[in-house]
Amino acid sequence: MNLVEKILKPHLLSGDMRPGEPLALRVEQTLTQDALGMLAYLAFESLGLPAVRTELSVSYLDHNLLYADYRNPDDHAYLMSVARRYGITVSRAGNGICHSVHLARFAQPGKLVVGTDSHTPSAGALGMIGIGAGGLDVAAVMAGEPLMLAMPRIVKIELTGRLRPGVNAKDAALCILRAFGVKGGLGCAFEFGGEGLKTLSVPERMTLTNLAVETGATTSVCPTDGEALRFLRFQGREADFIALAPDPNAVYDDVFPLDLGAVEPMVALPHRPDNVVTVREAAGTAVDQVFIGSCTNSSYSDLMKAAAILRGRRIAENVSLLVTPGTRQNYLALLRSGAVEAFVRAGARVLECGCGPCVGMGQAVRTGGVSLRTVNRNFKGRCGTKESSVYIAGPETAAFTAVAGKIAWGAEDFDLRELADIREPEACEEDDSLIIRPTPDPDAQVVRGPNIREIPLGDALPDQLPVCVALCLGDHISTDDIAPSGAKNVANRANIEEVSKSAFERLDPDFWRRTQALGSSVIVAGENYGQGSSREHAALMPRYLGVRAVIARSFARIHRANLINFGILPLEAEETGVYHPGDRLSLRGLLSGGRPETLIVHNETTGRDHRAALRVSDYEWAVLRAGGLLQYIKAKG
């Protein structure tokens, strides 16, 4: 077996491990982040259980760190009180980014973690299968339900060679993303291997497993070896090490070779992470801002390399440089090393340990401005400014760019060989004082601020469904397009009535008013609808506004699952140009007979009939019939 199969097999409760077949998987761990965890815990509360049923569930306070008014602190008070009530571990605000902290303190080889963040596969750097999901799926797992998942195709990423000094694992990840595109990994799991993998540290491997999400892949994983053991020993968790590797004759559905020695510095151009070129091709582009951080590139060694480049230099006068250590542990190590002083003397602004600018929580770019960031997504408007451009690169490129004032890599007065010896530290300070591990307390009071509301639930699926086309869209519509992030909207994530007013606001500011007036409606789109974040608000907000179906050429995995979880039909059609805004459609005979595989969509406006496929499993059909996942679980008792 390959490594993915080896890890999944002992977790398999039902199903056949053939690509595309539905699986039911036992899960040991869950993680949530505050921006998306609110709905997960509101959903879990509604199930009436005394405690979580996982080995470990961790609630991270890392996104909503901007306390502009009462809403974010109220959300954090709620999350901490829910944790006391149900026995959930909390990583407090300031402790760091969920994926980085989880990898360091909780990830265990051979186990499964499901998280309300699409980059949960970052845990694959330690031989743990991580899967991003919507909050309802995570709530179900916390309640003891299995994770329902389609078996992915297994693609081996065969690494050879060694990265040259100054070339980052981020550059290798961008090469992979350029090759696969933002939908080439749909239905796949990436398994990294080869002699080249042995040259990469665990944080470098995390950069690969993290960014592989942007191909649409279900998960990514690396075998465990001496590097993994060294990392766990460094964390004081040597007992968690398990040697994991594929069988020598393991079979894969595909193999993608990558020579690390041939990798050049790369950059993703606006406004998609797969729009990748070499830095040489983008060199000279003037920038207004540089951000070094995020779960993709905020490790100790990443920031030490950036500090080495900046030491003794100053940033260009036209550039604002922002630096965010990924974890408090790394921050303390950087303070001791003198790296933070190098950043500050160079002119950087050092931010708190969290997601920050990556998710649009402060540090927006000026109108029409350019920001180069070491993040994983550069969708239009994600930085907080609609009319701006975000480029993605590694920390070395970011540091050189901050000094030059334009996209650049290397400098005449800097010897890249200085970066070759920078490694992760050999020892660390194990300070978990910002991690709270409570036991369940049924008497603990749950704190609810005025902006925290119950999840609105829709009704069961009817046999006949008249709908009106509310919006027609193109390819690669992201969850940022559907449910925009940013400080204003994220603060309202626990108030669906209010936050739904922001649905599609960057594409159609009047969407929420018009859709409510239509009653039941449908959205039409092209390929890869719902790419990007796992935020279930991109399904719940349209459902609250009356959307009952989406007709698209194809769907991103997590968003498709979220649509089903809120009772929205994910209909696939090759021809979507036959529909126009305002068309009145009729979906008939939904409940007559068994699970329908093809629906006839009658366009009452044109008088024509069109076909749409409903490719769902028996389980997904049961959820849709019930009106959503919560209704389905409650009906089961």
pLDDT at 383 over 90: no
Instruction: List C-alpha distances in Å: 470 to 525, 582, 585, 588.
Output: 11, 6, 11, 19
Grouping H, G, I as helix, E, B as strand and the rest as coil, residue 41 is helix
Taking residues 435-441, what's their average pLDDT?
Answer: 93
**CATH number corresponding to 266-414:** 3.30.499.10
pLDDT at 430 over 80: no
pLDDT by residue (tens digit) across 453-468?
Answer: 999 888 889 888 999 9
pLDDT at 581 over 80: yes
Residue carrying structure tokens 């796949």: 188
What residues are paired with 433 via a beta bridge? none
Q: Which long-range contacts (CB under 8 A, 24 or more apart) does 382-386 make?
A: 382/480, 382/485, 383/357, 384/357, 384/360, 384/486, 384/487, 386/506
Can you list the positions of beta strands (E) in 135-179?
147-150, 153-160
Contact between 453 and 497 under an 8 Å Cβ cutoff? The reply is: yes
Residue 551: its H or E element: strand 547-552
pLDDT by residue (tens digit) across 36-86?
Answer: 899 999 999 999 999 999 999 999 999 988 898 999 999 999 999 999 999
pLDDT by residue (tens digit) across 92-128?
Answer: 999 999 999 999 999 999 999 999 999 999 999 999 9
Q: Which CATH number fits domain 3-262: 1.20.1270.360, 3.30.70.3270, 3.30.499.10, 3.30.450.20?
A: 3.30.499.10
- Report the distance separating Cα 188 and Cα 175, nearest Å: 17
Categorize the per-residue pLDDT at 358 as very low, low, confident or very high, splitting at 50, 70 and 90.
Answer: confident
pLDDT at 361 over 80: no
Categorize the per-residue pLDDT at 559 as very low, low, confident or very high, splitting at 50, 70 and 90.
Answer: very high
Q: What pLDDT does 357 receive?
A: 82
Q: pTM (2 decimals)?
A: 0.93
pLDDT by residue (tens digit) across 490-537?
Answer: 888 889 999 999 999 989 999 999 998 898 999 999 999 999 888 899
- Report the distance separating Cα 400 and Cα 306, nearest Å: 8
What are phi and psi for residue 332, nearest 5 degrees? -60, -40
Q: What pLDDT does 222 receive?
A: 98
What letter represents residue 496's amino acid? I
Q: Where are the domains of the chain?
A: 3-262, 266-414, 465-636
Q: Average per-residue pLDDT in the chain?
A: 93
pLDDT by residue (tens digit) across 12-33?
Answer: 999 999 999 999 999 999 999 9
What are phi and psi for residue 257, nearest 5 degrees? -85, 145
**CATH number corresponding to 465-636:** 3.20.19.10
Give me the numbers of helices (H) and strands (E) for the chain, helices first please. Answer: 21, 27
Tell me if 3-262 shares its fold with 266-414: yes
Other Cβ atoms within 10 Å of 278 Cβ, number: 17
